[in-house]
Amino acid sequence: MTTKAERKLLSELLNLERIKVAGYSQHEGIGIILHLEAENSEGTCPRCHSKSHRLHQNHRYIVKDLPWGEKPVFLEINRRQFKCKKCRKP
């Protein structure tokens, strides 16, 4: 179980804009996996730039990052897609 202080420290170390570390796990033979999530609960439409809270789907990706000492580090990123009310076709 990760503490709030640990998550805050890891988020500051990563220094990714509007992204925070939700937790981490260590796996024998694999390394450290940092679970990342967006700080805001809304998305911006790439077409009309309006904001939306209507979540359409989630896509999880695992990206290899630089090692921490001798341990490999991976970032688990949740890419969320939102539905836009203004751009939706009738």
Q: What percent of the chain has pLDDT over 90?
A: 34
Whole-structure pTM value: 0.73
Q: Is residue 89 part of a domain?
A: no
Residue 27 lies inside a defined structural domain of this protein: yes
16 C-beta neighbours (distance < 10 Å), count = 14
Provide the residue range defining the domain that includes 54. 4-82
Per-residue pLDDT at 1: 65
Q: How much is the pLDDT for 74?
A: 96
pLDDT in tens, 50-82: 777 777 777 889 999 999 899 999 999 887 777
Q: How many domains does the chain have?
A: 1
In a domain, 87, yes or no: no
Q: Is 4 left (phi over 0), alpha (psi -120 to 50) or beta?
A: alpha
Whether 88 is covered by a domain: the verdict is no
